[in-house]
Copies of this chain bind each other. A is one copy, B any other.
Amino acid sequence: MTTGRLTVVGLGPGDAALVTDQVRASIAAATDAFGYFPYVERLAGMDHLRLHASDNREELGRARQALDLAASGRQVLMLSSGDPGVFAMASAVFEVLDMATPEQRQRWAAVDIEVQPGITAMLAAAARLGAPLGHDFCTINLSDNLKPAAVIERRIRLAAQADFAMAFYNPCSRSRPEGFARALRVLQQECEPGRLVCFARNVSRADETLDVLPLAQVQADMADMRTVVIVGSSLTRRVGRHVYTPRSYPDA
């Protein structure tokens, strides 16, 4: 029997030109692809692939099914948008392995598991904006689906005190509309009113929009589930139509 393989790949933020050759080769060699509906949709028309689309909240079940199919000898892809290691499917796959029953552990033992990186949304957004993440920064998922809101608020507060630039993923969703509003309240307490806040929506797609505003003008409804928010550090500046964070940090 062929050894099965599970390859966890990042399709990048949307533009096909932002997929790596490594991921393209894995797609060509696969027999099956699992993922959230809109990511599986990106492989529609590839006749060599059996597509297994599932809903957003089905990550653990999807990972188990993919491991089972790989254990049967198939070459299985697990699709994420962006990079699979940044708030995406790679952690879900390892969680399932970690929680496996002895019977599952035995079944999945021979599966070859590989993670292949992709262009994550914040780096695509940063490139379109200029270089807002050109100095130290942090990356925070604003969804309180899997962590307490108090942890998120504390992280944003400490990140502001450390003067990190910040990238926010999942600033809000239909079921979790409060994420960005809560983050904004912390920023308003910790940062000066002129702090630059960047909204990158549908980055790299035909309907991409980019907006940059001082914190004082930011409203809670400016981010939706397709937006990555990048908050500058105290040194982040505009030059022409671009936003960047200098490489140097002054002495205190």
Complex partner residue of A148 from B92, B130, B239, B252, CB under 8 angstroms: B252
Complex partner residue of A162 from B116, B123, B130, B159, CB under 8 angstroms: B159
Question: With A128-B115, A134-B85, A162-B158 in contact, do A240 and B95 touch (Cβ < 8 Å)?
Answer: no
Question: With A22-B17, A252-B148 in contact, do A134 and B164 touch (Cβ < 8 Å)?
Answer: no
Give the number of times this chain occurs in the complex, counting copies.
Answer: 2
CB-nearest residue of chain B to A241? B113
| Cβ-based interface call for A79 (8 A) | no
* Residues of chain B contacted by A128 (CB below 8 angstroms): 115
* B127→A135 contact, CB < 8 A: no
What number of A residues sit within 8 Å (CB to CB) of B?
Answer: 74
* A98→B239 contact, CB < 8 A: yes
Complex partner residue of A136 from B19, B92, B136, B140, CB under 8 angstroms: B140
| Cβ-based interface call for A72 (8 A) | no
Give A28 to B228 CA distance when docked, in angstroms. 30
